[in-house]
Amino acid sequence: MLDKLSETTAPANVGFRLLTSEVKDLTEDEVVQFRTYPATSTERELKDGRVTHLNDKVEAGLAVTFHWVTAAVKELNDQIRRLNGQHSSIMLQKRIAAGKFPKGLKVLREHFEVDDGNGLALLFRQFDDRASSRQPIDVSGVYQGLHPQLASVNRKIGKLAVDGYTWYQRNVEKVPTPMGDDSYSAFNDSGLYPYILWLNELFAVKSKEMQFPAIVAAIVGTYMGNEGGARAFWHDVVSLANGDDDSTPQTVLSNWLLTIKADKIDRPDPAHLYQGCIYAWNAYRDGRAIPAIRDDIKKNLLTIHD
């Protein structure tokens, strides 16, 4: 830990300066040498999950150039401290011990001069800062952008379309489904394009109360079972709120979702949101009027009526 640093306000100048930057072959000696530097208090808390995640990337052949940073702290007589690269270097240490050191990788080694603790903190904030970090919408957009057929689709709606499809596959169909960023490989399935394009049209009007993965999962399930019926039903749900006949399943569902959106009732968890939507759909397919939405789950999620 960094100690005995002055507790001053942010310095007038930046507080850090780049001295060297070099891409090097990643070797066992490089790892050992980097781990000899003591950490600074700016390093993130060590989390086993991050180490495991990086190890999994190496195992899968997905590792890219690591970025390791050290800094000579002027206020500590130019002592060199480790600033960035803790989790990756620990992961590689473990692979050395196991005799599984990866071959053919590179590491970007950067070395800075830092005035004091404030400079260290400011420098730390420049790596993977929150404004620049990859968000799920960025990953989704990359996969969507690979397919010109989906160029007209709003990226937020495209992501939501896949999130809803994944939720349905995992929670209703109970089939193995890619998780996290991997789920957006679903954009490679051209069979989903008609559904994605239609959802983009459906949500072109004001429909924020419907834009949750579990609700879109209900849309997916009904669309897959009865495309024509789903197009008509969900169009009505979007457009018939506060309609003249407040007992139709479409209007009752629309008003229920709007009430939730307005925080007039506590938002149900995803499974109950899905259940409420399918309850209204089944009533619609059965030709029944309903006084209210029932979203209770006694045993299982409702079976979707054709």
Domain edges within the chain = 16-124, 136-286
Give the model's pLDDT for residue 95: 97
3-state secondary structure the chain: CCCCCCCCCCCCCCCEEEEEEEEEECCHHHHHHHHCCCECCCCCCCCHHHHHHHHHHHHCCCCCCEEEEEEEEHHHCCEEEEEECHHHHHHHHHHHHCCCCCCCCEEEEEEEEECCHHHHHHHHCCCCCCCCCCCHHHHHHHHHHCCHHHCCCCHHHHHHHHHHHHHHHHHCCCCCCCCHHHHHHHHHCHHHHHHHHHHHHHCCCCCHHHCCHHHHHHHHHHHHHCHHHHHHHHHHHHHCCCCCCCCCHHHHHHHHHHHHHCCCCCCCCHHHHHHHHHHHHHHHHHCCCCCCCCCCCCCCCCCCCC
CATH topology classification for 16-124: 3.90.1530
Per-residue pLDDT tens listing for the chain (306 residues): 344 443 334 344 678 999 999 999 999 999 999 999 998 766 778 889 999 999 999 999 999 999 999 999 998 899 999 989 999 999 999 999 999 999 999 999 999 999 988 888 888 888 876 666 778 898 899 899 989 999 999 999 999 999 999 999 999 999 999 989 899 999 999 999 999 999 999 999 878 899 999 999 999 999 999 999 999 999 999 987 545 667 899 999 999 999 998 887 778 899 999 999 999 999 999 999 999 999 999 888 999 999
